[in-house]
Amino acid sequence: MIRRARPDDAAPVARIAEAGMRENLTMYPHLGYTEVDRRQMDGFDWVFFEKGVQARSINTDPTE
């Protein structure tokens, strides 16, 4: 039997980085995240990233 590992409507994975953390601002896009927003909260500049979740088929047959 083959079934979906995740539903097609799975929520994206979100990450938040403080704008001064330049290594994270470079790393997240390298890992496939897309910048979706920038805003200031509590006196800090924040950058918001999201990455979609890919549905994939998995085989649940224990004999294979």
Residue 5 has pLDDT above 90, yes or no: no
Specify the 3-state DSSP secondary structure of 49: strand
Q: Give the number of C-alpha atoms closer than 13 A to the C-alpha of residue 9, restricted to the C-beta side.
A: 0
Q: How confident is the model at residue 2 (pLDDT cuts 50, 70, 90)?
A: very low
Structure tokens belonging to residue 5: 């590992």
What confidence category does residue 58 fall into, taking pLDDT thresholds of 50, 70 and 90?
Answer: low
pLDDT of 56 higher than 80: no
pLDDT at residue 55 above 50?
A: yes
Give buried/exposed letters for 14-42 (b at 16+ CB in 10 A, else e).
Answer: eeebeeeeeebeeebeeeebeeeeeeeee
